[in-house]
Amino acid sequence: MKVVKFGGSSLASGKQLQKVFDIVTADPARKAVVVSAPGKRHSTDTKVTDLLISCGEQYLRLGEAHDLKEAVIERYASIADELGLGQDIIDTIRQDLDTLLQADSSRPECYLDAIKASGEDNNAKLIAAYFRHQGVEAHYVNPKEAGLFVSDEPGQAQVLPESYDHLYKLRERSGIIIFPGFFGFSLAGDIVTFSRSGSDITGSILANGLKADVYENFTDVDAVYAVNPTIVHEPKEITELTYREMRELSYAGFSVFHDEALIPAFRAGIPVQIKNTNNPSAKGTKIVNQRDHTNGPVVGIASDNGFCSIYISKYLMNREVGFGRKVLQTLEEYGLTYEHVPSGIDDMTIILRQDQLEEQHIEEELLDRLKVVLDADEVVLERNLSLIMVVGEAMRHNVGTTARAAKALSKAKVNIEMINQGSSEVSMMFGVKATQEKEAVQALYEEFFSMSTVPVSL
């Protein structure tokens, strides 16, 4: 049994939906289909989810959002027209959106969650109607009806454990299940969304609940690549990697998966197969619990920017009991999260997402507070850093991987601001100036994957 998930680009038009239909019906094992909201049809297009967010926000401000609402409905109408569906499904979508916009808005976050989620919900209804139009038994299933219950945290929902037992009962349903991604229901009956790209999370949850043999995730690329193809031209495809490797790569900037999306499938030991809707015969990338390490120490290189560092120096820091607690407690007081904390005997560096400081305008206040609380010799902020993650479970069994990476960066004249390696030894992180991010990634890729790499022009 397979659970199949299709992303927004795979569902952006009637032509794309015809491909989806052919893929699903080509394999009788594909029992449950999780769908996103319609994505972009071209580079200058707008995703339906973005239209819905703008629509909801305008309705909260002005009490009307006619043009934006019609733009959303037009997207569905265009797809329905391409597929030869009647007006009934568009009337259903219009009625649903009208009801949501006119609903209680006393809790704006909950109100917006319900409107955002309608992108997936109404697309699932349309897709089920199309499958039936083609003579295939298919049923739209609402997450509440299926028992997908989540924590009451708008935009950050977490699945509740009892949901898995409820979802297992869907195995008894006949025909193909069409299930909307991105949201579940609180125990109070309110719609609550996962974080953005949450349809991947729904697919993983459903695969776990149904005890699927495989979770297939269809997107618009043939496979996961060893490095961002906008940085290195035609990089190597990854045929197989582990969950831990995928999570490290996703965290550090790989856009194929949300970094939390695979956890439910991982816990159930269900392999994930990434496939291309536009080229379903391509082998794709398989994500598993364990794999043979036959392709060298490194499986992929990812990078992300928008970080800053707070460098703290104090003589004999290592002998001061409670020093680390004071640092983290101060961050907590300001509602800040951190990414990494490399340290020495007399200094430590806190790596944070830079936008946290910018949003709160607390940079100087935070630095002054840390200096006073810690009685530090020096507290310095450095902005505009990029983190580069070199990932591979085989690194723990290979001597000299760090030396190779450092040598490659040195040869490319990239200055390393910091190095950090987790205790799991699945990855090592290099901090560099954001202006040198691409040169650093290209140098590392050439070192570990190819001596004849063609970099994308900077």
Report how far apart, in Å, the C-alpha atoms of 448 and of each of 91, 142, 411, 415, 434 are: 55, 47, 14, 19, 22
Residues 79 and 193 in one domain: yes
Q: Which residues pair with 232 in a beta bridge?
A: 455
Q: Are residues 176 and 67 in the same domain?
A: yes
178-216 pLDDT, tens digit per residue, is 999 999 999 999 999 998 778 999 999 999 999 999 999
Q: Residue 419 belongs to what H/E stretch?
A: strand 418-421
List the structure tokens of 340: 């990494």
Q: Flag whether 409 is in a domain.
A: yes
Which residues are registered as beta bridge partners of 303? 388
**Alpha helices per DSSP H over 308-381:** 323-333, 354-360, 363-374
**Residues annotated in a binding site:** 5-8, 49, 120, 219-220, 225
- Do 170 and 308 share a structural domain? no
Say yes or no: 123 and 10 in one domain.
Answer: yes
Cα–Cα–Cα angle for 268, 269, 275, rounded to 5 degrees: 110
Q: Report the number of distinct structural domains present in the chain.
A: 2
Instruction: Give the DSSP H/E element, type plus range, for residue 201.
Output: helix 199-210
- Max Cα-Cα span within the chain: 75
The percent of residues above 70 in pLDDT, for the chain, comes to: 95
Residue 62 and residue 194 in one domain = yes
Determine which helix (DSSP H) or strand (DSSP E) holds 265, and give its type and residue range. helix 263-268
* Residue-number span of the structural domain to which 410 is assigned: 300-448
Task: Detail the residues annotated as belonging to a binding site for substrate.
Answer: 49, 120
Q: Beta strands of 56-136 (E only): which ranges?
A: none
Does residue 176 share a domain with residue 32? yes
- pLDDT for 52-106, tens place per residue? 999 999 999 999 999 999 999 999 999 999 999 999 999 999 999 999 999 999 9
Cβ contact 121:142 at 8 Å? yes
pTM of the model: 0.83
Domain boundary among 170, 199, 220: 220
Q: Give the per-residue pLDDT at 457.
A: 43
Specify if 456 maps to a domain: no
Residue 455 lies in a domain: no
Q: Do residue 213 and residue 353 come from a single domain?
A: no
Q: Which has the higher per-residue pLDDT, 291 or 52?
A: 52
Q: Is residue 281 part of a domain?
A: no
In angstroms, the CA 18 to CA 280 distance is 13
Structure token digits, residue 449: 């994957």
Pick from 210, 184, 208: nearest CA to 198: 184
Mean pLDDT score of the chain: 91
Q: What is the mean pLDDT of residues 344-362?
A: 89
Residues 331 and 203 in one domain: no
Q: Would you tell me how many other CB atoms lie within 10 Å of the CB of residue 394? A: 19
Tell me which of 220, 255, 286 is where a domain ends. 220
Q: What 8-state DSSP symbol labels residue 239?
A: S
- Cα–Cα distance measured from residue 246 to residue 244, given in angstroms and rounded to the nearest whole number: 5
The CATH number of whichever domain residue 121 belongs to comes to 3.40.1160.10
- Cα distances from 348 to residues 226, 314, 317, 406, 442, in angstroms, run 31, 9, 9, 21, 29
CATH of the domain at 339: 3.30.2130.10
At 391, is the secondary structure helix, strand, or coil?
strand
Q: Has residue 419 been placed in a domain?
A: yes
Give the domain-ending residue among 191, 220, 249. 220
Query: Residue 452: which pLDDT band, with cuts at 50, 70 and 90?
Result: very low
Q: 109, exposed or middle or buried, with CB in 10 Å at 0-12, 13-18, 19+?
A: exposed
pLDDT tens-digit readout, 379-423: 999 999 999 999 988 777 677 888 899 999 999 999 998 888 765
What is the pLDDT at residue 441?
94
Instruction: Give the span between the Cα atoms of 131 and 138, in whole angstroms.
Output: 6
Which positions make up the binding site for ATP?
5-8, 219-220, 225
